[in-house]
């Protein structure tokens, strides 16, 4: 009886462990979201070039969902889906906020066949975010880093976060990765300080200060998004590593529209990834030093695939095809870790297909908080899997991207179910069918071999889109095929040539981006 009363008395202050039933009441939650990190950008998931010892250690203590997916191929839709538990077509944020749509798309001079669909440009106020769900149960809620879900009036503090360090409307670091940051929500401390490390330190300080109450901390790195930047020391390390491995003669090939990176050998990106890992280490160390590592759930994931085309062409996602912005596996398959110490998640893996919308009900369930089934309608709780049980659910996963990606992706929608993935392209209504995981690189379209299955999945996809009132791209009446073809030809010749030259330049011994290495070195100039 005394034990029960003790647990109740501290219900909103500390996690109370019931060892017999392996239950922690009111556990803390640390959610780590990396921007643009690819599935194979980590040591535990297969990279031999990037070094990520802290995340690799976390993976050993977690359930690794090997078939973990982002809710979108670009950032804002995925971030909205994590916070709301809804697929992009349902919440309406289907592109990164700020992207041109409709007639404005012509400003880009891309000469595409379609005008991208319009989309919602702020996180809907009527949604109950996961932060609000935790706050309603007495949790202190904290946000650090990239938001990109609306302008003033739709910042983290407007959607359930008590504290906001660095979250505003911009999707990339305004001042780069070294101070001054030019961030209205994060005051500069020291010139040249690193943004990724600073966000980790803010999170660690929050943990130390608020450890007497349960907390929901959401660390949303701006890294490893462009502009990719690192220190001279880390560049030297990865430049030497690339040379020791043997520098490939070519680093790119042509995908359908853009060149795409084929090798992981960019020393700038390598340093950026390692700094992200250093930052993860700071926060995990804080949990341990404050004796909170045993009653804190830790999540680690990314918002979309690694950038292999477009932006800085920073990484390769092989053997997965594509990357950020693409409709194939490289664009949506993600690192997906959940650590629950009291459930013995060490070195566990699961092949069950999971997606960003599952975090909302899973974290509530693990925290013994009543679910919001009408809110996180497109997610399911993964608690049973984490406990080592099997769940017999055959559910479809849906993606809707009625836009052109900056990275070469095409307007398309996807349904994935029972190991099959069908992609519907909106330019001409053609479709592709893939069997996963045997053709996970999306090179083997088997639609001609399974016409009935393809038709069934197609009808299911289109019916669902209609049900959720999805928006679609429209034909551009001013479309000029000759201009489009000329643009594509230039991408396949001039762009490819310039990328290969820049790749070797970045790997050369005399490489220096500027005198102060993106402000990481304080100079007198």
The CATH number of whichever domain residue 372 belongs to comes to 3.40.720.10
Q: Are 192 and 179 in contact (CB under 8 A)?
A: yes
Token pair for 32: 């780590």
How many C-beta atoms lie closer than 10 Å to residue 122's C-beta?
A: 20
How far is residue 250's CA from residue 63's CA, in Å, rounded to a whole number?
37
- Positive/negative CA dihedral, 357, 360, 365, 366: positive
Average pLDDT, rounded, for the chain: 93
Q: What is the pLDDT at residue 390? A: 85
Whether residue 23 lies inside any domain: the answer is: no
The pLDDT of residue 17: 46
| Predicted pLDDT at 439 | 60
- The pLDDT value given to residue 317: 97
Rounded to a whole number of angstroms, the distance between the first and last alpha carbons of the chain is 70
Q: In this structure, is residue 399 part of a structural domain?
A: no
pLDDT, position 210: 82
CA distance 475 to 104: 14
Beta strand pairing call for 16-18 and 23-25: antiparallel
The tokens 């971030």 sit on which residue? 79
266 located within any domain: yes
310, part of any domain: yes
Count of the separate structural domains present in the chain: 1
- pLDDT value for 440: 59
Query: Residue 2's pLDDT is what?
Result: 39
State residue 121's pLDDT score: 98
Contact 467, 377 (CB under 8 A): no
Residue 409, domain member (yes or no): no
Show the domain range for 336.
28-394+480-507
Chunked in runs of 10, what are the mean pLDDT values of the chain (525 residues)? 41 43 84 98 98 98 98 98 98 98 95 97 98 97 98 98 98 97 96 97 95 94 98 98 96 95 98 98 97 97 97 95 96 98 94 97 98 98 95 93 95 97 97 83 85 98 98 97 94 94 96 96 63
Q: Is residue 472 part of a domain?
A: no
H helix intervals, 468-509: 481-490, 496-507
Q: Is residue 419 part of a domain?
A: no
Kindly report the pTM of this predicted structure.
0.94
Select from 218, 216, 321 the least CA-distant residue to 261: 321
Q: Are strands 16-18 and 140-145 parallel, antiparallel or unpaired?
A: unpaired
């Amino acid at each position: 009886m005394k034990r029960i009363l003790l647990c109740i008395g501290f219900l909103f202050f500390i996690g109370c462990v019931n060892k017999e039933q392996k239950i922690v009441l009111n556990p803390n939650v640390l959610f780590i979201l990396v921007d643009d990190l690819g599935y194979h950008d980590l040591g535990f998931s297969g990279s031999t070039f990037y070094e990520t010892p802290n995340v690799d250690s976390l993976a050993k203590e977690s359930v690794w969902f090997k078939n973990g997916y982002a809710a979108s191929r670009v950032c804002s839709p995925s971030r909205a889906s994590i916070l709301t538990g809804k697929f992009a077509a349902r919440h309406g944020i289907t592109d990164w906020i700020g992207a041109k749509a409709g007639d404005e798309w012509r400003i880009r001079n891309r000469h595409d066949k379609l005008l991208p669909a319009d989309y919602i440009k702020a996180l809907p106020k009527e949604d109950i975010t996961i932060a609000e769900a935790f706050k309603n149960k007495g949790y202190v809620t904290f946000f650090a880093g990239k938001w990109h879900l609306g302008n003033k009036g739709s910042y983290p503090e407007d959607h359930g976060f008590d504290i906001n360090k660095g979250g505003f409307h911009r999707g990339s670091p305004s001042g780069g990765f070294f101070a001054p940051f030019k961030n209205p929500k994060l005051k500069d401390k020291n010139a040249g300080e690193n943004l990724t490390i600073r966000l980790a330190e803010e999170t660690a300080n929050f943990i130390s200060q608020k450890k007497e109450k349960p907390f929901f901390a959401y660390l949303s790195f701006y890294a490893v998004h462009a502009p990719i930047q690192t220190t001279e020391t880390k560049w030297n390390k990865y430049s030497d590593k690339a040379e020791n491995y043997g520098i490939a003669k070519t680093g790119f090939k042509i995908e359908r529209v853009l060149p795409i990176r084929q090798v992981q050998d960019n020393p700038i990106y390598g340093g950026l990834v390692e700094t992200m890992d250093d930052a993860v280490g700071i926060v995990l160390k804080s949990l341990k030093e404050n004796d909170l590592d045993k009653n804190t759930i830790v999540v680690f994931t990314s918002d979309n695939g690694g950038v292999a085309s477009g932006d800085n062409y920073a990484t390769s996602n092989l053997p997965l095809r594509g990357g950020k912005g693409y409709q194939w596996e490289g664009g949506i398959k993600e690192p997906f870790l959940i650590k629950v110490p009291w459930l013995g998640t060490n070195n566990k893996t699961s092949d069950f297909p999971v997606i960003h919308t599952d975090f909302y009900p899973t974290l509530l369930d693990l925290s013994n908080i009543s679910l919001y089934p009408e809110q996180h309608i497109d997610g399911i709780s993964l608690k049973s899997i984490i406990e080592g049980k099997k769940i017999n659910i055959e559910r479809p996963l849906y993606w809707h991207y009625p836009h052109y990606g900056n990275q070469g992706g095409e307007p398309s929608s996807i349904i994935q179910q029972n190991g099959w993935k069908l992609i519907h392209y909106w330019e001409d209504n053609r479709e592709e069918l893939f069997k996963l995981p045997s053709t996970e690189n999306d090179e083997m379209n088997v639609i001609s071999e399974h016409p009935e299955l393809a038709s069934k999945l197609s009808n299911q996809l289109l019916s669902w889109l209609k049900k959720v009132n999805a928006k679609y791209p429209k034909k551009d009446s001013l479309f000029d095929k000759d201009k489009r073809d000329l643009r594509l030809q230039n991408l396949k010749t001039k762009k490819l040539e310039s990328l290969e030259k820049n790749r070797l330049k970045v790997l050369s011994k005399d490489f220096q981006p500027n005198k102060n290495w993106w402000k990481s070195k304080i100079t007198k100039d």
